Amino acid sequence: MYTQALDIPQQSADKGPRVVENPEYQAEFDARIDAGGYIEAKDWMPEAYRKTLIRQISQHAHSEIVGMLPEGNWITRAPTLKRKAILLAKVQDEGGHGLYLYAAAETLGVSRDELLEALHSGRAKYSSIFNYPTLTWADIGVIGWLVDGAAIMNQIPLCKCSYGPYARAMVRICKEESFHQRQGYDLLLAMMKGTEEQREMVQDAVNRWWWPSIMMFGPHDKDSVHSGQSARWGIKRISNDDLRQKFVDATVEQAKVLGVTMPDPELKWNAERGHHDFGAIDWDEFWNVVNGHGQGNVDRLAARVKAWEDGAWVREAALEHERKRAAREHQAA
């Protein structure tokens, strides 16, 4: 769902087949990128392009599956059967996004198991938005509205990114995300029409999620380590700050309809710029959470590792059964 972490370096280089650099191929590759064409899995590509994509796509995939946890926290407590079904379907969609994205990363010569190992060992990053806790049912609506909303802004440009398998996965993902965003907003509208306590929950959730949501667009353009090269390669089409501004402008109007206020006294329309101004982002908070010191970092990763370790006997059994079945088939033939 979320690509905030795409500019975040990993602690070690991605593994994969070595590609000999070749000036002739490089010229062909550059020409195709410049013409706005797609690079496919079997095409030659520079090693750095391949590594950047593996890092970005796998961080995105990890974000999807870690992202199942904060929302999954409310599935068993959903207030109505309809809301429970919507939330389950949404979290299931996120699992599906994880699958497409791991599959897209696999086209670059890395296995899902290797990528998961990098996640579980803490080497790989995922979107740090998921290290924030979901404290009330309103968080489910606010995640849909703000977090999915920010993710969509980030991801629509990726539908036209230069790597074909990633671009095609993103087309499907974006369609589902915009549905999730509408469902989240609808949940909040229902709560805002309800009791005083329900409205209080919504405002509290907005207060907690607003700043983390606008941090999802990543560091300011002047501080973004990968953005220049990624733009050159057609992986990144619009800058972090431009996307963030677009998100703020769109969201302020939606907040008015909803009847909530954003926790930013400096947020106001600037007629001269034709955009909303907003207060300074607390980047210390952002980097603290990215670097493992958010409220949920330890618990989220522990939950993923536990699921993986608890499931080891199941995966081993499936492999062993398949070996036995193949041996029996071979013997019968």
Partner 1 sequence: MTQQTPNPAHIEYVTRIGDNALILGQRMSEWCGHAPVLEEDMALANMSLDLIGQARMLLTHAGKLEGKGRDEDQLAFLRIEMHYRNLTLCELPNADFGRTMVRNFLFASFQVLLWERLLASSDTELAAIAAKSLKEARYHAQHAGDWVVRLGDGTAESHERTQAALDYLWPYTAEFFAANPTDEAIAAAAIGPAWSELEAAWEAAVVPVLNEATLTVPARTPFKSYGKFGRHSEHLGHLLSEMQYLQRTYPGAQW
Residue ranges binding partner 1 (CB under 8 A) = 65, 68-69, 72, 75-85, 88-89, 91-92, 95-96, 98-99, 102, 137, 187, 190-191, 193-195, 197-198, 303, 306-308, 310-318, 320-322, 324
CA atoms within a 13 Å half-sphere pointing along the CA-CB vector of 239: 11
Report how far residue 134's alpha carbon sits from residue 136's, in angstroms, rounded to the nearest whole number: 6
- Cβ 202 to partner 1 shortest distance, Å: 12
- Cβ 296 to partner 1 shortest distance, Å: 13
Give SS3 for 182. helix
Which CB sits closer to partner 1, 73 or 239?
73
Query: Does residue 243 contact residue 271 with C-beta atoms inside 8 Å?
Result: no
- Cβ 99 to partner 1 shortest distance, Å: 6
**Nearest-CA neighbor of 173 among 190, 186, 195, 154?**
154
Query: Does residue 37 contact residue 66 with C-beta atoms inside 8 Å?
Result: no
Question: Which H helix or E strand runs over 249?
Answer: helix 240-258
Which CB sits closer to partner 1, 298 or 318?
318
Which CB sits closer to partner 1, 194 or 292?
194
Which CB sits closer to partner 1, 193 or 268?
193
- Cβ 50 to partner 1 shortest distance, Å: 23
Report how far residue 203's alpha carbon sits from residue 205's, in angstroms, rounded to the nearest whole number: 5
Which CB sits closer to partner 1, 37 or 72?
72
Which CB sits closer to partner 1, 45 or 91?
91
- Cβ 319 to partner 1 shortest distance, Å: 8
Report how far residue 66's alpha carbon sits from residue 302's, in angstroms, rounded to the nearest whole number: 10
Check residue 42 and report its DSSP letter: T
- Cβ 191 to partner 1 shortest distance, Å: 7
Task: Determine phi and psi for 79, rounding to 5 degrees.
Answer: -80, -25
Which CB sits closer to partner 1, 173 or 262?
173
**Nearest-CA neighbor of 67 among 47, 92, 45, 49?**
92
- Cβ 306 to partner 1 shortest distance, Å: 8
- Cβ 300 to partner 1 shortest distance, Å: 10
Report how far residue 193's alpha carbon sits from residue 186's, in angstroms, rounded to the nearest whole number: 11
Which CB sits closer to partner 1, 197 or 329?
197
Return the CA Rg of the chain.
21
Relative orientation angle of helices 112-120 and 81-106, to the nearest 10 degrees = 110
Compute CA 259 distance to the chain's CA centroid, rounded to the nearest angstrom: 28
